[in-house]
Amino acid sequence: MYKILVINPGSTSTKIAVYEDENQRLKKVIDHDVNELKKYKSVADQYEFRKNTILQFLNEEGINLHSFSAIIGRGGLLRPIPSGTYEITDQMLEELRSAKYGEHESNLGALIANELAKQIGVKAYIADPVVVDEMEDIARISGHSLFQRKSIFHALNQKAVARSLSEKLGRNYQDLNLIVVHMGGGISVGAHKKGRVVDVNNALDGDGPFTPERSGTLPLVGFIDLCYSGKYSEDEIRKLIKGNGGLIAYLGTNDVREVVKRIKSGDKEAELVYSGLIHQIVKWIGKMSAVLNFDVDAIALTGGMAYENEFLVPQIKEKVSFIAPVYVFPGGDEEKALALAAVRVLKKEEQAKMY
């Protein structure tokens, strides 16, 4: 039996899980004081602080670090790479420390996993970071030679859900055409063609449906006018796209539960905006079904918004079930997906890739 330590750093918390093979034995969310985090100039500077909180927790739980067979961290912002489980390398560590491809708390996952693994003499891994890129060349064409469409999406959860759905169907993931829709703070709609995500919206940089806090694709001329209006700084413009867009811009909240309450109390504006969000998700499912030549075996809805079963999930099902059967996998258990990735490598069901 293999014992796995999973490390998943987020913006204001660090999630830790302990697995024995496929079975979760322990899960903990360590919340960090925002004022404490503000002391650090960069994400990389939080390294020692985050590592020590993990070690302290393991010590309090009486868990011996040397009992682990492997340690896996959430993958950070790296160069575009194919899907898979990756052994952590010196080049990967250097790029994450320097934030060569962008600064994000997930960059700490590999850094901490590597350090702890070195201490006990086991391998350290990451799996399916957001930069997973399996797009077909035709999907990269944007409409202008100065721009190229990029693959940045919820790869870890999308891939895990695609595998779970394939098992549910009693089929091999590599034999199926699937559409997976991750719906959370960001929304990504991926076309999974025979095991590869050949097209997907860039869920980070303003592409796709609008979300609880992101604007998604906007009318370009209007956006250009706004940029040159003199009313907003560059940082404020960026915040309009990610952070203050979507439901926040329209309704002042990113809480879908609050929006549902407003609709049920008769708020027509909330109803219209929420219907617009559902409309856009459905449009992107339609786009990805066209990418797959309308040969779709199944559609999966996942992420935190997939728990919303009063309006969103039923309406999406009603509108797209003629394309393919719709399955719902609420939430997005990143820790489980990471643990299973490590187990597949340890059991030699999958070979770790080198970065």
CATH, residue 276: 3.30.420.40
Alpha helices in the chain (DSSP H): 34-37, 47-60, 90-97, 107-120, 137-140, 155-169, 220-227, 234-241, 246-251, 256-264, 268-291, 312-320, 334-346
pLDDT at position 113: 98
Are residue 70 and residue 166 in the same domain, yes or no? no
Kindly report, residue by residue over 70-120, the tens digit of the pLDDT: 999 999 999 999 999 999 999 999 999 999 998 889 999 999 999 999 999
Instruction: Judge whether 148 lies within some domain.
Output: no
How many degrees, rounded to 5, is the angle at CA 229 between CA 242 and CA 221?
Answer: 70
Are 241 and 163 found together in one domain?
A: yes
Q: Give the Cα separation of 125 and 84 in Å (integer).
A: 10
Q: What is the per-residue pLDDT for 206?
A: 83
pTM of full prediction above 0.85: yes
Residue 329 belongs to a domain: no
Residues of the chain above pLDDT 70, percent: 100
Residue 318 phi/psi, 5-degree rounding, is -60, -35
Q: What is the pLDDT of residue 164?
A: 95
Residues 313 and 344 grouped into a single domain: no
Question: Per residue in 157-196, pLDDT tens?
Answer: 999 999 999 999 999 999 999 999 999 999 999 999 999 9
Residue 280's closest CA among 250, 258, 239?
250
* Distances in whole angstroms, Cα of residue 189 to Cα of each of 158, 182, 241, 248, 289: 9, 6, 18, 21, 10
As given in the structure block, the two tokens for residue 232 are: 């907003």
Same domain (yes/no): 79, 228? no
Q: How many domains does the chain have?
A: 2
In terms of domains, do 115 and 57 share one? yes
In terms of domains, do 231 and 272 share one?
A: yes
pLDDT digits (tens, 9 = 90+) for 1-40: 999 999 999 888 899 999 999 999 999 999 988 888 889 9
End-to-end CA distance of the chain: 27
Calpha distance 76→53 (Å, rounded): 20
Contact 161, 302 (CB under 8 A): yes
Both 281 and 347 in one domain: the answer is: no
List % helix, strand, coil for the chain (3-state, nearest 5). 40, 20, 35
Q: Which helix (H) or strand (E) holds 85?
A: strand 85-87
Q: Which residues form the domain of 88?
A: 3-131+334-354
* Residues 28, 96 share a domain: yes
Q: What is the 3-state secondary structure (H, E, C) of 9-30?
A: ECCCEEEEEEEECCEEEEEEEE
- Verify that 180 and 299 share a domain, yes or no: yes
Query: Exposed/middle/buried for 60, CB within 10 Å: 0-12, 13-18, 19+?
Result: exposed
Residues 272 and 166 in one domain: yes
- Do residues 295 and 229 both lie within one domain? yes
